[in-house]
Amino acid sequence: MGRLSTELCGIPLENPVIPASGTFGFGYEFAEYYDINRLGSLSFKGTTLNPRFGNPTPRIAECTGGMLNAVGLQNPGARAVLEEELPKLKKVFSKPIMANVSGFSVSDYVETVRILEAEKQIGWYEINISCPNVHGGGMSFGTDPSAAFEVISSVRQVTDRPVIAKLSPNVTDIVSIARACEKAGADGISLINTLLGMRIDLRTRKPILANTTGGLSGPAVFPVALRMVYQVHKAVRIPIVGMGGISTAEDVIEMMMAGASAVEVGAANLIDPYASLRIIEDLPRVMERYGIEKLSDIIGVTEQEKM
């Protein structure tokens, strides 16, 4: 195990950096830029049971410190992902991958996982109960502990692989939802997804996004994400994948000190296709600067030192 190595739900990672779902396609697209095997893993594009075109355009709006997106889970559906997208990824990536799964009913989540079970390269299921850009599903499951429990417990029954619940920050009590997911059998928690926001075009006096609202991501959300990772780490005994505005090696270290065992890099990938690789390459320098021998030694140290 090297200085950058960590572990997520019992699966070793060469380093903790994972491109976040929705910001890295199905992974193979980035292989023409660099060897993506240098990543810890990757969470591929959010997948639903049936194909989705996504929301009407415009879907993207820029803002200070980040961006808003309302893509709406555009994807070809679980069967096409299994038969067409993942074989392309397997040709260029040899490590376990994270399957990001979303749905509009409990049965949607269950059936999507059933289909994806045929792919042995999947190491974890990241169950997205937090997408703010779809109606009738997504975030509605992740804002209520009982609904979150139902989704996670149902998925837990159809797979032996690690199940990670991806949670929404658009709640008043993130801890109660994380605990419900842990009780339901989740092996880990991913947080945070995007914060709900909007922009208005001053000329037309109408919302910029066709969906009216969208998910805010980028550096502006980092302090919120860090706070929630810290709170949840104190409350559960399962590992956490921290995300939200991570764009530097320093951000990774800060997130791990708050309690994350691994991190996901999101909006930064949309600005710079080399962002995740750049962060990995910079980690040893930053570790040296702060006297860190191994990343695995700093997971949750902020809370430990307080105790």
User: Could you give the residue numbers annotated as active site?
Assistant: 131
CA–CA separation, 106 vs 101, rounded Å? 11
Q: What residues contact 192, with CB distance under 8 A and at least 6 apart?
A: 130, 167, 168, 169, 174, 221, 224, 225, 228, 229, 243, 244
Q: What residues contact 153, with CB distance under 8 A and at least 6 apart?
A: 184, 185
Could you tell me which of 177, 221, 272 has the C-alpha nearest to residue 63?
221
Please provide residue 19's backbone torsions phi and psi, each rounded to the nearest 5 degrees.
-60, 135
CA–CA separation, 146 vs 72, rounded Å? 24
